[in-house]
Structure 1
Amino acid sequence: MLRRAVAVEARRRISLAPARLAHELAQPQAQSAGSDRRGFEPSWVPLYKRISKVSHGRPPGIVAAEMDEWLRQRLLLSQQQILAYVRELTRFKKNEGALELLDWIEARGANLTPGHQAVRLDLISKVHGIQAAEEYFWSLPDISKSLKTYSCLLNCYGNHGLAYKGLELYEKMKAKKIVPDKLVYNRLMKLYQKAGQPEKVLSTFEQMRESGISADKFTYFTLIESYITMNDLDAAEKVLEELQKVAPVHWSLYTLMANNYIKLELFGKAEVALKNVEEVMDKAELHPWVTLLSLHAHCGNSTEVKRIWESLKSTFKKCLNRSYLVMLQALRMLDDFESLQQIFQEWQSSHERYDMRIINIMIKAYLDKGMIDKAEAIRQSTMAQGRYDEGTVCIFAEFYLDKSDVNAALEILGDAKNMVTAHKWVPSKELVSRFLKHYEESKDVAGVESFLECLKSLECLDAETYDAVMQTYVLAGRT
């Protein structure tokens, strides 16, 4: 009885909140001088920390429960505050929490603007898939099917590889006489590129210019990409040259050209493009630095890779795992094993967060050199720390299968049951097929039975695999 009474009282207090919250959400608030770089007031930080902590990999409803608890305490909330949370959660790809937050404020009486509905549409597509996003879009009243929501759905189709659907949607937009803006033109050009119609990128670019809409870095990126797709390198270079005369060129356009030069083995031209990257990039941004590391490695230029690495380290106070990851990948590509070991040891002595991607690069490097004992020592160490992941399983299983040591590969698979704990893991169909092929060719009934037990323990034995296992019995004359 007491528990029921408490619950009723809690609901009574919550029921007062929607109108109050809806009223507050309607009140725009100016950002104060005390806001941080995220636009957060100091008083907003405690709640953000709570919802950020439960915004990924948790059951649905946790974020809403945190927000309800905040209201139970009669603490204030505003539209500016909640939407700042949504932006920050989205920035860190905590899409489930951001979507739940938008659902929560709408359920409590807030009217979402077309811009907020577009954000919600994008989040639905990322969390629940494109079909759910379509259903949400078509459920909106006509007045809410704005340029922003149409543009967002175009982008969703592009992200899900459904260019044809995006192009169909654009035809509907034209029928409704919705005038495209820069964002729509950019997304339309990207859809044509993904649909394998690069020539339509050019005509869309001309339409954009005739409409008096100025192009941006995304427009030019897709335009140059379309010329490259059509093997018209001269036209791509001409666009870049013309752009250099009238506006600052974004570094990503130079890396786009460098990538293409590398594919064509025009390494001299690639190096010139990468020098241009260094001249125009924002030195405080990490992305161009790691891109330079990777592309110089693809050029086979060890000297430039090491120079960029030293410059990167002197620019940033702390080297992030991402930087070490790309540098180690670059050194492995260059087959500079000595430097790779040195950088790996540097990471081991300085990292703040363990990263199995970095560990797996070192494992691959040891296996490449036939240093199996070293690779196994790392594997055993990570297992002892409970940090094993599916990448490690696949690296070792495939290595031993390549060496025809199927028993060792099966032992690795057996370890996965207890060691890959982040989520339920199952081996890929390709990996399963490699095991089955060996057992069939060697007519190894005892081996395939052990493999069968391993698949059962991983809870991934399906009918197709079982039929393939039976084939080994047939070939061995054990039917």
Structure 2
Amino acid sequence: MLRTAIPAAARRRISFAPARFAHELAQVQAQVQSAVPGRDGLEPSWVPLYRRISKLSHGRQPGMAAAEMTKYLRERRPLSEYQIVAYIRKLRKFKRHACALELMDWMEARGAKLTPGHQALRIDLVSKVHGIQAAEEYFWSLPDILKSRKAYSCLLNCYGEHGMAFKGLKFYEKMKAKNIVPNTLVYNSLMALYKKAGQPEKIPSTFEEMRESGITANSFTYFSLVESYVTMNDLEAAEKVLEELQKVAPVHWSLYTLMANSYIKLELCEKAEVALKKAEEVMNKDELSSWYFLLSIYARCGNATEVKRIWESLKSTFKKCLNRSYLVMLQALSTIDDFESLQQIFQEWESSHEQYDMRITNVMIKAYLDKGMIDEAEAIRQRTMAKGRCDYRTIYIFAEFYLEKSNVTGALEILRDAKKMVTAHKWVPSKKLTSRFLKHYEESKDVDGVESFCECLRKLECLDAEAYEGMMRTYIAAGRTNPSIAQRIEDDGIHVGPETMKLLECVSGN
């Protein structure tokens, strides 16, 4: 029973999962992660509390979710372990990992007995919130009795997620030494590690070992197998796997889209479209990601008719069209260069959206710039800037466009507006963008230009030694000196190295 500071009579009214949930609880704890989405819905009566917790997870202060759960218990409402685990898994699904981990800590602090499945879930969350080292420390701190196959499998999977292929493979050797019998998750993690280690040739033999051991493969397993053959440029073997699979089990739509992408790389668009038709036949129509793949891949095929057909099907399937759906569609239309339809869909979104999404506006801005319609693009920028809607991507789209057109004055004007465009946080230009400006000024020997640029960087609070070096190289290229630069560098508190000192001597006229 969950413990909290309330009278014993009230505590008796706090119940764990009733017997009718026992089977579902076992299923929930079966794996930390699965390639095929499982049951993630909540009982209707649980939804209000979940919404309250979910809202707290946005920019939350630590402890707020736990406080909300404690408050719920003090109101003498029943709360089951299964319910809490369902919340944790749903938060994890939507990448609210810190909040999910907080709920797990809260659950344990109130006397909940963590099962091996729970421990595996905690390892995964610790890895995502605090990093792989913290996950390792937590794993090795567990009593041997709790170092279950699920816990080992989870840590193995964490190594893959963090891109630590070789460390993960060494850990797998420890698992074998302890005679931990692999399951589907272990083999899937192993295949992922081989992929990250650049050893796709080991995946087919791993699959054979898995099959000979009588362990059931799932969609992720077959995806890894097919992907390994694609990586090795053996499309014939990949096709053979699909043909065999079709005879014995349902094929997940992602396998067909994987093949379609591979065909497009070889400019086999007809074969790609056949694969996409098969994907559409077997996909779960309620799964938005499948529609997004179809839109994007048909666009890469250059098939405008199919892009528009899929879009209409998507809209008829879902009551509400999400911002993400509009974004994918607009990106698809940009790919096939259907500018007229792009404008129409953008206008449709502008008139119907509930929440503003600058990513969508950026697609339209870039489309206008690509068409040389600078006034239209600038009109959108001024409008969104006035509303505080721009983001860092807007800055890069305009700055890079103007630089490509050798309009450095226009690009610099964008940087001057940066603070108005990104108001939520401090923005500084990337090293790559800064280097492009400095290179232009040096090549054109534009001393006044580089001074204006550095002044802009100072206002953005990112004037550094590299910028000063670029400035001095421009002075040298123009055959000019400026003894005051040394004092300016000192006033700005910038540390200079030997190379900078050499430039400084030249510019100072020494």
User: Do these two structures clear the TM 0.5 threshold for a shared fold by scoring above it?
Assistant: yes
What code does the residue aligned with 2:421 have? M
CA distance in 2 between counterparts of 1:340 and 1:394 reads: 21
Choose which of 281, 290, 293 in structure 2 pairs with 1:279: 281
The Cα of 1:159 is off from its aligned counterpart by 1.6
Question: Using a 3 Å threshold, how does the CA distance of structure 1 residues 408 and 244 change in structure 2: closer, same or farther?
Answer: same
Corresponding residue number in structure 1 for 2:26: none
The Cα of 1:153 is off from its aligned counterpart by 1.6
The residue correspondences of 1:78-97 to structure 2 (distance < 5 A) are: 78-97=80-99
CA distance in 2 between counterparts of 1:240 and 1:27 reads: 42
Question: Using a 3 Å threshold, how does the CA distance of structure 1 residues 359 and 126 change in structure 2: closer, same or farther?
Answer: same
Corresponding residue number in structure 1 for 2:409: 407
Report the more deviating stretch, 102-111 or 300-309.
102-111
Choose which of 388, 391, 406 in structure 2 pairs with 1:389: 391
The Cα of 1:192 is off from its aligned counterpart by 0.8
The Cα of 1:56 is off from its aligned counterpart by 2.9
CA distance in 1 between counterparts of 2:260 and 2:463 reads: 46
Corresponding residue number in structure 1 for 2:61: 59
The Cα of 1:203 is off from its aligned counterpart by 1.1
Q: Is residue 198 of structure 2 the alignment partner of residue 202 of structure 1?
A: no
Q: Is residue 190 of structure 2 the alignment partner of residue 177 of structure 1?
A: no
Deviations 1:365-385 (A, max 9, x none): 000000001001111111111
Asked whether the equivalents of residues 24 and 79 of structure 1 are also in contact (C-alpha less than 8 Å), the reply is: no
Corresponding residue number in structure 2 for 1:114: 116
Deviations 1:281-329 (A, max 9, x none): 2223222222111111111111111122222222222222222111111
What code does the residue aligned with 1:38 have? G
Asked whether the equivalents of residues 445 and 477 of structure 2 are also in contact (C-alpha less than 8 Å), the reply is: yes
CA distance in 2 between counterparts of 1:109 and 1:151 reads: 26
Deviations 1:126-180 (A, max 9, x none): 2222232222222322222221122112222212221111111111111111111
Displacement over 4 Å in runs of 4+: 13-29, 71-76
Deviations 1:100-132 (A, max 9, x none): 211222233333222122222222222222232
CA distance in 1 between counterparts of 2:215 and 2:166 reads: 25
Question: Using a 3 Å threshold, how does the CA distance of structure 1 residues 18 and 111 change in structure 2: closer, same or farther?
Answer: farther
CA distance in 2 between counterparts of 1:71 and 1:284 reads: 35
Choose which of 297, 318, 321 in structure 2 pairs with 1:319: 321
Report the more deviating stretch, 351-360 or 424-433.
424-433
Asked whether the equivalents of residues 185 and 208 of structure 1 are also in contact (C-alpha less than 8 Å), the reply is: yes
Q: Does the residue aligned with 1:192 lie in a helix, a strand or coil?
A: helix
Choose which of 32, 43, 49 in structure 2 pairs with 1:40: 43
The residue correspondences of 1:251-290 to structure 2 (distance < 5 A) are: 251-290=253-292
Corresponding residue number in structure 2 for 1:8: none
Corresponding residue number in structure 2 for 1:10: none
Asked whether the equivalents of residues 122 and 153 of structure 1 are also in contact (C-alpha less than 8 Å), the reply is: yes
Asked whether the equivalents of residues 447 and 471 of structure 2 are also in contact (C-alpha less than 8 Å), the reply is: no
Q: Does the residue aligned with 1:198 lie in a helix, a strand or coil?
A: coil
Q: Does the residue aligned with 1:118 lie in a helix, a strand or coil?
A: helix
Structure 1 unmatched runs, 5+: 1-12
Aligned residues: 463
Choose which of 426, 429, 433 in structure 2 pairs with 1:427: 429
Corresponding residue number in structure 2 for 1:377: 379
Deviations 1:305-354 (A, max 9, x none): 11222222222222222221111111111111111111111111222221
CA distance in 2 between counterparts of 1:37 and 1:199 reads: 35
CA distance in 1 between counterparts of 2:272 and 2:44 reads: 46
Q: Is residue 95 of structure 2 the alignment partner of residue 128 of structure 1?
A: no
Q: Is residue 377 of structure 2 the alignment partner of residue 352 of structure 1?
A: no
The Cα of 1:206 is off from its aligned counterpart by 1.1
The Cα of 1:271 is off from its aligned counterpart by 1.2
Asked whether the equivalents of residues 427 and 460 of structure 2 are also in contact (C-alpha less than 8 Å), the reply is: yes
CA distance in 2 between counterparts of 1:190 and 1:370 reads: 44
Corresponding residue number in structure 1 for 2:441: 439
Asked whether the equivalents of residues 18 and 108 of structure 1 are also in contact (C-alpha less than 8 Å), the reply is: no
Report the more deviating stretch, 410-419 or 259-268.
410-419
Asked whether the equivalents of residues 13 and 78 of structure 2 are also in contact (C-alpha less than 8 Å), the reply is: no
Asked whether the equivalents of residues 362 and 394 of structure 2 are also in contact (C-alpha less than 8 Å), the reply is: yes
What code does the residue aligned with 1:471 have? R
What code does the residue aligned with 1:39 have? L
CA distance in 2 between counterparts of 1:230 and 1:424 reads: 44
Report the more deviating stretch, 221-230 or 47-56.
47-56
What code does the residue aligned with 1:244 have? Q
Deviations 1:404-441 (A, max 9, x none): 22222122122222331333332222111111211222
Asked whether the equivalents of residues 189 and 204 of structure 1 are also in contact (C-alpha less than 8 Å), the reply is: yes
Corresponding residue number in structure 2 for 1:188: 190
CA distance in 2 between counterparts of 1:386 and 1:28 reads: 50
Question: Using a 3 Å threshold, how does the CA distance of structure 1 residues 289 and 411 change in structure 2: closer, same or farther?
Answer: same
Percent sequence identity over aligned pairs: 72
Question: Using a 3 Å threshold, how does the CA distance of structure 1 residues 248 and 280 change in structure 2: closer, same or farther?
Answer: same
Corresponding residue number in structure 2 for 1:146: 148
What code does the residue aligned with 1:395 have? I
* RMSD across aligned positions (CA): 2.6
What code does the residue aligned with 1:243 have? L
What code does the residue aligned with 1:124 have? V
CA distance in 2 between counterparts of 1:172 and 1:19 reads: 49
Q: Does the residue aligned with 2:321 lie in a helix, a strand or coil?
A: coil
Corresponding residue number in structure 1 for 2:32: none
Question: Using a 3 Å threshold, how does the CA distance of structure 1 residues 232 and 401 change in structure 2: closer, same or farther?
Answer: same
Q: Does the residue aligned with 1:215 lie in a helix, a strand or coil?
A: coil
Question: Using a 3 Å threshold, how does the CA distance of structure 1 residues 68 and 194 change in structure 2: closer, same or farther?
Answer: same
CA distance in 2 between counterparts of 1:387 and 1:317 reads: 27
Deviations 1:433-458 (A, max 9, x none): 11121122223333223322332333
The Cα of 1:67 is off from its aligned counterpart by 3.2
Report the more deviating stretch, 364-373 or 55-64.
55-64
In the superposition, the TM-score normalised over structure 2's length comes to: 0.84
What code does the residue aligned with 1:186 have? N
CA distance in 1 between counterparts of 2:393 and 2:19 reads: 48
CA distance in 1 between counterparts of 2:100 and 2:320 reads: 29
Asked whether the equivalents of residues 224 and 236 of structure 1 are also in contact (C-alpha less than 8 Å), the reply is: yes
